Amino acid sequence: MNGGRVTVQDLRFKRGGREILKGISFQVEPGQVAAVVGPNGAGKSTLLKVISGYLRPASGTVRVGGVDPVSLHPSERSRLVTYSGDEPDPAFAFTVEETVEMGKVAVEAPRSRVALQATLQAALEALQLTGLRDRPITSLSSGERQRVYLARAVYQDPLVLLLDEPTTHLDMAYEVHVVEMIRDLAEHGKTVITVVHDLNLALRSASRLLFLKDGRLRYDVAPGEVTSEVIGDIYGVEVQVASHPVLGTPFVTPPSARKA
């Protein structure tokens, strides 16, 4: 049993004749948090959606827990891997609790009502939503809604979580909280792959950074291996990488000037 190991090999993806992913290979183990970083349009979200089985690769292989997610029955797939990202505005006023409950919509026979209630409660607590449980999601702010969708993914409880910009709409306190929750999920054996824009957030939260540019994986490094050369190569900006005075993790200072 290799749990939720994610293996991607020579992955290519095309949309409208244009190649978005150009031969990507890497592997992420259970217990790891990998952050996919890189400039806009590098193919980060597309990569997560191909791993989730939603988009089909033009060539190459994706294995999640040793199997191709596309080959699985959707309900089986939903217990192995899920993707959580930006969603269209809700059309109807489901409550927060009803929305989170939909994480188990594909599971036919629930284990037991009591156990399910306990996991639901845990998911609501993990995202600090217990006070909002009866509120219609149409009345929530984008940050609150983002936490609801994250809670739904947590309640779905797959081995692999693909989180596309999980903290974009969150304030600093919730951002810290969600980062801790992601680490906690990994410590409990989940495989987590995130797409993150804030490099310092990625450096603080991930055990590995996958730098994507123009559909290619340029660097696959641990946070400690991130240098100003790597960032200059990827983003074309000059930065300084220092050690965080308190955490000891690498810390990127804002770019001072555009590279010539």
Partner 1 sequence: MATHRTVRNEKLVAAGLLFLLVGLALGLSLGSVSLPLRYVIKALAKGPSGAGALSADGMETLADAIVWTLRFPRVLLAFIEGAGLAVAGSVMQGLFRNPMADPYVLGVSSGASLGAVLGIALGLGGVFGVWSLPALAFLGALGTAALVYALSTYRKRTDTWTLLLAGIAVSSLISSLIAFIMVIARERVDEIVFWTMGALSRASWMSVGVSLVYTVPGLFVLLRHAKALNALSFGEEPAFHMGVRVEPVKRTLLWTSSLVVAGGVAFTGPIGFIGLIVPHAVRLVTGPDHRWLMPLSGLFGGNALLFADLIARVIAPPREMPVGVITALSGAPFFLYLLAHSRRRRE
| Member of 14, 102, 222, 242 binding partner 1 (CB under 8 A) | 102
In whole angstroms, what is the distance from residue 107 CA to residue 118 CA? 16
What stretch of H or E contains 83? strand 81-84
Is 105 near partner 1 (CB under 8 A)? yes
Given a contact cutoff of 8 angstroms between Cβ atoms, the answer to whether 4 and 30 are in contact is: yes
- The contact mask relative to partner 1 for 66-95 (x = CB under 8 A, - = no) is -------xxx-xxx--xxx--xx-xxxxxx
Distances in Å between the Cα of 176 and the Cα atoms of 127, 161, 167 are 11, 18, 9
Output the CA angle 102-50-214, nearest 5 degrees. 135
Which CB atom, from 99 or from 205, has the smaller least distance to partner 1?
99
Least distance (Å) between residue 112 CB and partner 1: 16
Which CB atom, from 74 or from 245, has the smaller least distance to partner 1?
74
Query: How many Cβ atoms from other residues are within 10 Å of residue 27's Cβ?
Result: 13
Least distance (Å) between residue 125 CB and partner 1: 18
In whole angstroms, what is the distance from residue 111 CA to residue 130 CA? 23
| Member of 58, 67, 70, 107 binding partner 1 (CB under 8 A) | 107
Which CB atom, from 68 or from 101, has the smaller least distance to partner 1?
101
In whole angstroms, what is the distance from residue 58 CA to residue 55 CA? 9
Is 134 near partner 1 (CB under 8 A)? yes
Nearest alpha carbon to residue 18 among 49, 41, 50, 48: 41
In whole angstroms, what is the distance from residue 195 CA to residue 161 CA? 11
Placement of tokens 């990998």 in the chain? 34
Least distance (Å) between residue 245 CB and partner 1: 40
| Member of 57, 65, 103, 166 binding partner 1 (CB under 8 A) | 103
Burial of 127 (0-12, 13-18, 19+ CB in 10 A): buried
Which CB atom, from 25 or from 138, has the smaller least distance to partner 1?
138
Least distance (Å) between residue 69 CB and partner 1: 11
54 token code pair: 């939603």
Which CB atom, from 3 or from 136, has the smaller least distance to partner 1?
136
Which CB atom, from 134 or from 257, has the smaller least distance to partner 1?
134
Least distance (Å) between residue 200 CB and partner 1: 28
Residues between 29 and 58 that touch partner 1 (CB under 8 A): 52, 54
Bridge partners, residue 19, by sequence: 14
# binding residues, partner 1 (CB under 8 A): 32
Q: Which residues bind partner 1 (CB under 8 A)?
A: 52, 54, 73-75, 77-79, 82-84, 87-88, 90-95, 97-99, 101-103, 105-107, 134, 149, 152, 156
